[in-house]
């Protein structure tokens, strides 16, 4: 009897074990094209492989599991540049660290591709020793020349993003200079945290700043694309064929999950 009691007492109830416990729920949330077992292995590996993350997740496992639900619904890989898992101070928890999920630039690019409207997404940072040229209204796309064999490309000075649509048209071109990126960074509640992606993956956050703006101009939702195809089919017989133009700003699949980059989080507000 005592051996059974000890086994119960030492049973793992930590964050990784909780993921396994809710395996079926996460498997039901991920999109059909995602391998649920592989997604769960990534989530478990991310938390078991980082003591800081595991400690923060233990502060409030419920919040951590709900952040993983966001990654599951979006079909993004947790603990990667698709979906960062970062410790964040929570006022409701006495400023102890909890887990906050942040959609990364690779996650946004994945959602854009998944919608099915684009053939390629280009998002690049520009450094001070690069050559960059783009005149809106004159140039269809930027010209960016890099000395790949130079000793030093210099500091980050800008970032740009655009998509090539399936029909060959170019989406709106997004160009952000350093000042604009710093404005976006300033909105981040975690910017000064040692765990913030702005500290640990600065260039990736510059890329996210541009591609997040691009997401307003290209579809990031498969449902949106299906609606567009249905509408096109209804008017195809009576509408003359015209060359495609860049899409106007559209509701983004990210709006519900990443409304303002990675802004403040208070533990009492997480639901």
**How confident is the model at residue 164, as a pLDDT?**
97
- 206 and 128 housed in the same domain: yes
Residues with Cβ within 8 Å of 147's Cβ and at least 6 positions away in sequence, in order, are 129, 130, 153
- 99 and 117 housed in the same domain: no
- 25 and 116 housed in the same domain: no
- 99 and 44 housed in the same domain: yes
Residue 253 included in any domain: no
What b/e readout covers 191-211, taking b as 16+ CB neighbours within 10 angstroms? bebebbbbeebeebbbbbbbb
Residues with Cβ within 8 Å of 114's Cβ and at least 6 positions away in sequence, in order, are 31, 75, 220, 222
Residue 243 included in any domain: no
E strands, the chain, are: 83-90, 96-103, 118-127, 131-133, 143-145, 156-165, 174-177
**How confident is the model at residue 195, as a pLDDT?**
84
- 169 and 68 housed in the same domain: no
Residue 18 included in any domain: yes
**How confident is the model at residue 101, as a pLDDT?**
93
For residue range 127-141, what is the model confidence (pLDDT) as tens digits?
A: 999 999 999 999 999
Q: Which residues of the chain have pLDDT under 50?
A: 5, 7, 9, 239-249, 251, 260-271
**How confident is the model at residue 233, as a pLDDT?**
61
**How confident is the model at residue 189, as a pLDDT?**
77
Residues with Cβ within 8 Å of 156's Cβ and at least 6 positions away in sequence, in order, are 125, 126, 127, 178, 181, 202, 203, 206
What's the token pair of residue 180?
């604009």
Residue 251 included in any domain: no
Total domains present in the chain: 2
- 13 and 94 housed in the same domain: yes
- Domain span at 113: 106-235
Sign of CA dihedral 83, 166, 225, 124: positive
- 89 and 112 housed in the same domain: no
Residue 267 included in any domain: no
- Apex 45 CA angle, 40 and 48, nearest 5: 125
| Pairing of β 118-127 and β 131-133 | unpaired
Domain limit, last residue, from 84, 103, 122: 103
pTM: 0.79
């Amino acid at each position: 009897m005592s051996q059974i009691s000890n086994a119960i007492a030492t049973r793992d109830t930590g964050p990784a074990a909780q993921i396994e416990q809710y395996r079926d729920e996460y498997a039901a949330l991920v999109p059909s094209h995602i391998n649920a077992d592989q997604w769960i292995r990534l989530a478990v590996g991310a938390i078991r492989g980082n003591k800081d993350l595991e400690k923060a997740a233990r502060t409030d496992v419920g919040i951590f599991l709900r952040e993983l639900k966001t990654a599951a619904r979006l079909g993004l890989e947790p603990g990667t540049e698709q979906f960062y898992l970062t410790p964040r101070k929570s006022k409701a928890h006495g400023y102890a660290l909890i887990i906050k999920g942040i959609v990364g630039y690779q996650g946004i690019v994945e959602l854009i591709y998944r919608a099915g409207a684009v053939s390629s997404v280009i998002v690049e940072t520009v450094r001070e020793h690069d050559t960059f040229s783009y005149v809106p209204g004159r140039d269809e796309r930027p010209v960016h020349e890099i000395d790949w064999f130079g000793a030093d490309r210099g500091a980050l000075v800008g970032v740009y993003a655009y998509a090539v649509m399936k029909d060959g048209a170019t989406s709106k071109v997004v160009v952000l200079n350093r000042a604009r990126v710093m404005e976006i960074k300033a909105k981040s509640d975690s910017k000064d945290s040692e765990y913030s992606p702005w500290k640990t993956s600065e260039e990736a956050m510059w890329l996210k700043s541009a591609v997040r703006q691009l997401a307003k101009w290209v579809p990031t939702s498969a449902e949106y694309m299906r609606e567009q195809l249905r509408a096109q089919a209804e008017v195809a017989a009576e509408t003359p064929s015209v060359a495609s133009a860049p899409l106007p700003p559209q509701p983004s699949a990210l709006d519900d999950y990443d409304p303002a980059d990675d802004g403040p989080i208070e533990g009492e507000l997480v639901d």
